[in-house]
Amino acid sequence: MPEMSKKWLAAITVVGWGLLSGCAAVVVGTGAGAGAYTYINGELARSYPAPYRRTLEVSTQILKDLNMPIKEQTSEGERTTIVTERRDGTPMTLKITIVALDVTEVSVRTGRVGFWNRDLSEQFHEFISQRLTQ
**Nearest of 118, 124, 120 to residue 106 by alpha carbon:** 124
- The answer to whether the pTM exceeds 0.75 is no
In this structure, what CATH number is given to the domain that contains residue 15?
3.30.310.240
CA–CA gap between residue 11 and residue 17 (Å, rounded):
10
Residue at 104: amino acid letter? T
Q: Print the domain residue range for 37.
A: 3-132
Domain count, the chain: 1
CA angle centred on 101, ends 37 and 50, rounded to 5°: 50
Summarised one tens digit per residue, pLDDT across range 63-106 is 999 999 999 999 998 999 999 999 999 999 999 999 998 999 99
